[in-house]
Amino acid sequence: MRRFATTIVLATAALLLPAAAASAADVVLPADGATVSSRPNFVVDYPQGTLDVELATTPETLTAGANVGQFVEPAADTFMLIGVGGRPAAIAAWGQAPRLNAGRYFWHVQPNDYATEFARGYVAEPWGVTRTLAVRDEPIVFEGWTLRARRVSRSGCAARYRRAYELSGTIAWSDNQADRVARYAITLRSGTRRTVLKGVLRGSTRFANLVCTNHSAASVSITLRDTAGQLTRGPAKSLRLR
């Protein structure tokens, strides 16, 4: 199973957390049943150690073998380093592991408190109780795009247009919906004329549209909309049509 080391952020949270039990290292937050972001934070009740977090869409765990206690069908997992400097609590961030897709998950942890590791004889703690959480559906992250214009035949244009171009490029984007579908709208403004080109990206990044025009330059803006209707705007570009 692949593991991801994560960035550590420390927080003094003594006023928010109950006193840590000496023999029961555990996660304090998120609470069972909580709704979290696609990169959730996990607050633990020990100042230094490690934390394995595992999520699945079904609760069944392995009952034998080298990985006993882990989920039978894990959906995501990460390995976290906890704290330095003896602070009373630490927040471990999801960090560089892939964002979690929106939906409901079962989750459990395997905590390791350095303060009690020697007393245990370096025996790993068992996986903890199974809890649930819901990852919220977040808007698309627009990461960047390219835009090119290539002159083509006017056969698909009305007679009043003198030129036709194929507009194409790459849209770099990410989303935490499993279906990876986005609708794009590219708006060209030339003088008083406004043209909107639309299409669908199904797990892809490439687009191509025909535009008919009499203008030699345009201001181009773009939006992406996910299947939940959440809108994300990308940076505008200036386009010269030659």
User: Any idea where the domains of the chain sit in the sequence?
Assistant: 8-135, 141-240
Same fold, 8-135 and 141-240: yes
> Can you give the pLDDT at residue 98?
82
Report in angstroms the alpha-carbon separations of 126 from 5, 28, 129, 158.
Answer: 20, 17, 10, 71
What integer pLDDT is reported at residue 49 of this predicted model?
A: 87
**CATH no., domain 141-240:** 2.60.40.10
How far is Cα 171 from Cα 194, in angstroms, rounded to an integer?
21
- 107: tokens are 């989750």
Task: Spell out the residues 6+ positions from residue 12 whose beta carbon is closer than 8 angstroms to its own.
Answer: 87, 88, 89
**Which residues, other chains included, contact 99 with Cβ-Cβ below 8 Å and sequence gap of 6+?**
38, 39, 174, 176
Identify the pLDDT of residue 6. 43
Q: What is the pLDDT of residue 206?
A: 96
pLDDT at residue 198, as a whole number: 96
Alpha-carbon distance values, 45 to 48, 69, 90, 214, 221 (Å): 9, 22, 7, 67, 48
Residue 151 is predicted with a pLDDT of 94
The CATH number of the domain covering residues in 8-135? 2.60.40
Q: Profile the chain (242 residues) by mean pLDDT over runs of 10 residues.
A: 42 36 75 96 87 96 94 93 63 76 96 78 82 97 96 91 94 94 95 92 93 92 96 95 79
Q: Which pair of tokens denotes residue 78?
A: 């990460």
Instruction: Name residues whose C-beta falls within 8 Å of residue 66's C-beta, 6 or more positions apart in sequence.
Output: none
User: Half-sphere exposure of residue 193, counting CA atoms within 13 Å on the CB side?
Assistant: 12
Distance of alpha carbon 79 from alpha carbon 96, whole angstroms: 10
